[in-house]
Structure 1
Amino acid sequence: MSIFKQEMPVFEAVAESAEASVYRKVSWRLLPFLGVLWVLAWLDRVNIGFAKLQMLDSLHFSEAVYGLGAGIFFLGYFLFEVPSNMLLQKIGAKKTIMRITICWGVICMLQTTVSTPTQFYILRFLLGAFEAGFYPGVILYLTYWYPSQRRARAFGTFMSASAIAGVLGGPLAGWIMTSMNGMNGMHGWQWLFVIEGIPSVLAGIFAFFYMTDKPEQARWLSDSEKRVVQDALERDNAAMGERGHSVRELFTNSKVWLLIAIFFCLLCANSTLTFWIPTIIKDLGVSTPMAVGWIAAVAYLCGAVGMIVNGAHSDRSNEVRWHFSGAALVGGIAMVLLAVLMGMNALPPMVALLAMTASLIGTMSAIPVFWQLPNRYLAGSAAAVGVALINSVSNLAGFGAPYAMGLIKNATGKVSAGLYLVAFIEIMAAVLVILFIRTLRDKNKQEA
């Protein structure tokens, strides 16, 4: 018996090493390509923030028109996200991702034709409608491959691509808008939409041939490697205990609406930073698109590091509540500081830019950890619809926050008042998690 006891840790260590090796292979296959797609989606979604620096003067749009156009994207997102995830569950990920990616690339390019606010609103709505389902679809897709103790790191690696998009997108947008302005009779902002839309169409075609819907269909895994993945997922499902499977009961599930409230509060901050960072940097005295782009790139690079580090540490420590709430508190407090500093002209702009970067790091670092929470309460078809429902309703913050910021800036000439409001909302996300989300250990004790 003593020999058996001594051999068990060795056996477990070997099994864990084998599983880690398989998941390294899975991650290298899935995450880089999904990350590239998310970079393209993010560029096509937020390049309007850089195009704004020329577009408003070119088309004689107001700040409020820009804010509504930037935000109306999320109305299309809201209406079509749940149907898209239900379709993914039915026809598979690669067909769904192909459709989404090709369509958003086409709409991005069509934005070059905008000449009136109505056209602007329609195309932004369609961009949201066609992109709807990509982000929650990938979240759902990764749950088909990763057990919960590996998901935060996988989510963080995938989601950090939005920060990488910020790193690449800022300098790229600045270069395109500066060097190509006037070429062939087109403005720099029009070239920005064309050049950043084409790769999405090509990537969508490639996705159909590259992606694998489920582990059991992966020709690039051996039979033994497929069993390792399947065993890990089965153990995880057993350890998580009983969760909701009914789609019908989903809309009356109080936990789902709590998660929606939490993510809504976080996305108020995230969408504000996403669409207003170029304007914030410009208001701090940086005038050229190229310089704005490089400063935004550095801030997003720091955000990418924060997402990966916080997600990986959450996995290692098997802790979610404080990894989320701590990051959200950092983001909210730093945003308050940014609002204060933007009203103090005596201080150098670098101090405010550091506060802006800290707010971005905190806000972005909370996002991948959040997506560990829905799988504590939902499984099966309910998880497919639930993830989409949480993301789509919460993303209405992406409509309201940018539009409110535009109205506030129109009325006051400054963004600081809006930043105070958004900071308070982000801090509420942390408070809701601390007060109402139990630890996994407490959840399992109560169910036992």
Structure 2
Amino acid sequence: MNSGNTAALDATAAEAAACDAAAHTAYAKVTRRIVPFIVLCYFFSYLDRVNVGFAKLQMQQALGLSDVVYGVGAGIFFWGYMLCQVPSSLLIYRLGMRRCMAAIMILWGLVSAATMLVTTPMEFYAARFLLGVTEAGFFPAAVMYLNKWYPADRQSRIMSLLFLAMPLGMVLGGPVSGALMAGTHDLHGLDGWQWMFLIEALPAVLLGLLLLRMLPESPREARWLSAEEAEAVSALLDRENARKSTRFLTALRSPVLWTLMAICLLFNIGNYGLVFWLPTIIQSTGLQSTLEIALLTAIPYAVACVVMNRNAAHAERTGERRWHCAVPMFVAAGGMWASTLAPHNTAIAMCFLTIGISGLMATLAMFWGLPGRVLAGTAAAGGIAMINSAASLAGLIGPILMGGVKQWSGSISVAVLVLAALMLAAALLILAIPRRLMA
């Protein structure tokens, strides 16, 4: 090899090392600057979606709702959410994610606050449906936005940070919702559940107003990145996206997309069945205090925060994702099954529910790092929306399934066993995904 070639190779190596160093510094800044704000926004998105589970402890009796009516009302959110997923996501991709995310947050906050005014089952259904319509685009937009910043090999850890919003929604949302309902009951003639809906909706509106100021549209528009850092991140993403499917119609023909949708449907039936019925499951063990139940719902999700991030960090460190995604779901199914063995012992039931929910959340964070490994451009916009539509359908099925099985069998434990079976099926499907896509 002549000296000219050696010099060229040395220059290329030096350039690559400089680019890697710039990217490393850039991602440290990106993670500090944008991820906490998006997690905070998603926290209130999730809280405003699921706080109806806590409101149920007062609302159901106040409005005279049956278990099935409550299940339909909790789940009908996902009709609006599902119907608007794909069109809203494609529109967001064209109009710009920041502006659309801000508008979505303001609208869903206003609708969530208006839920305090419902007095009949039909009004309850209408409020939940409209909440689904207004919130539909936020999660796909958040995932697409993060895909504009992070390459696939960094996404599992980032998704685990994003999904902290879900367990935190239960860890903090449970006690806060319980305290709000207990502390504001009969204040100015309103029930505690009405005050809870109003107070917990206000942050979404305020954060929506702040979002445009806090989030740049892309790395090249981030003033807090140097030119070298912005270029390093953009070049890395451009190289990766060149290898992915970018056309939505092409993505629709991929069996991988439909497998991901099936997995998402199955484990989210379990997820949303638990989210909306966990306070009732805990109540069935013998507790009656609204505040005590709300505090206990925080335990499984607090543990899940730790397990989810440790699992994602280990997967990123080892480069293995298949078993890090499937094994937690097997654990979730086992935990749910074991929780039914002592249905009237609060301590034992809570122990196994904690194991089950931790496994479920660990898989959830790993799973949402997969679409970004194979999709980009409009394929990512439409594909992520399709997968999240399956989650929306699960959100409709889960609460109704729990209510229907409980009413048919007379036992909440039978309903939990059904969820465990669906989680087991999801774990088996994860193992059916080609290994090369999980690497």
Please, what TM-score do these two structures have when normalized by structure 1? 0.92
| 1:178 pairs with 2:182 | yes
Q: How much has 1:7 moved relative to structure 2?
A: 11
Task: Please list the CA deviations of residues 243-295 of structure 1 after superposition, one character each: whole Å capped at 9, or x if unmatched.
Answer: 32222233333221111001111101111111111111111122112111211
| Aligned counterpart, 2:378 | 381
- 189-198 vs 313-322, which moves further: 313-322
Q: State whether residues 160 and 305 of structure 1, in contact with CA within 8 Å, keep that contact through their aligned partners in structure 2.
A: no
* Aligned-partner SS, 1:436: coil
Shift of 1:237: 3.5
Question: For structure 1, which segment, 182-191 or 224-233, has the greater mean C-alpha deviation from structure 2 after superposition?
Answer: 224-233
Decide whether the 8 Å contact of 2:20 with 2:232 is kept in 1.
Answer: no
What's the TM-score, normalizing by structure 2?
Answer: 0.94
2:166 to 162, 167, 176: 162
Q: 2:328 — aligned with what? A: 327
The equivalent residue for 1:108 is 112
* Map of 2:395 onto structure 1: 398
Give per-residue Cα distances to partners, 1:30-89, cap 9 Å, x unaligned: 111001101111110000000000011111111111111111111111011111211221
**Counterparts of 1:13-412 in structure 2 under 5 Å?**
16-237=20-241, 241=243, 243-342=244-343, 345=344, 348-412=345-409
Distance 1:228 1:419 in 2: 48
Amino acid paired to 2:419: V
SS of the residue 1:395 aligns to? helix
- Measured in 2, the distance between the counterparts of 1:436 and 1:182 equals 53
1-structure distance, mates of 2:164, 2:434: 25
Please name the residue that 1:446 is paired with. Answer: none
| AA at the equivalent of 1:433 | I
Shift of 1:225: 1.1
Counterpart amino acid of residue 415 in structure 2: G
CA gap of 1:284–1:7, structure 2 versus 1, over 3 A, is farther
Shift in Å, 1:373:
1.9
State the Cα distance separating 1:219 from its structure 2 match. 1.6
Q: Secondary structure at the match of 2:431?
A: helix
Consecutive unaligned residues of structure 1, counting only runs of 5 or more, are 443-448
Q: What is the SS of the residue equivalent to 1:184?
A: coil
What SS does the corresponding residue of 2:297 show, helix, strand or coil?
helix
Percent identical among aligned pairs is 37
- Listed one character per residue, the Cα deviations across residues 99-149 of structure 1 (whole Å, up to 9, x for unaligned) are 110111111111111111111111101101111011111111101000111
**Structure 1 residues 281 and 245 mapped into 2: Cα distance closer, same or farther (>3 Å)?**
same
Residues of 2 paired with 1:153 and 1:183: CA distance?
A: 43
Q: Distance in 2 between matches of 1:390 and 1:52?
A: 29
CA distance in 2, matches of 1:80, 1:300: 29
For 1:300, the aligned partner's letter is Y
CA distance in 1, matches of 2:21, 2:287: 50
- The one-letter code matched in structure 2 to 1:165 is G
Output the CA distance in 2 between the equivalents of 1:320 and 1:84. Answer: 30
Whether the 8 Å CA contact 1:261–1:394 is kept in 2: the answer is no
Q: 1:33 to 1:237 in 2, by over 3 A?
A: same
C-alpha contact (below 8 Å) 2:264/2:390 kept by paired residues? no
Q: What SS does the aligned partner of 2:163 have?
A: helix
Question: Is the Cα–Cα contact under 8 Å of residues 260 and 393 in structure 1 kept in the other structure?
Answer: yes
Gaps of 5+ in 2: none
| SS of equivalent to 2:342 | helix
Distance 2:396 2:240 in 1: 36
String of CA shifts for 1:414-442, please: whole Å, max 9, x gaps. 21111111111111111012123323488
2:419 aligned to which of 417, 422, 426: 422
Per-residue deviation, 1:339: 2.1
SS in 2 for 1:135: helix
SS at match of 1:372: coil
Aligned length: 435
Q: Is the 8 A contact 1:71 1:402 kept in 2?
A: yes
CA distance in 2 between partners of 1:122 and 1:210 (Å): 33
AA of the residue aligned to 2:412: V
- State the one-letter code of the partner of 1:366: T
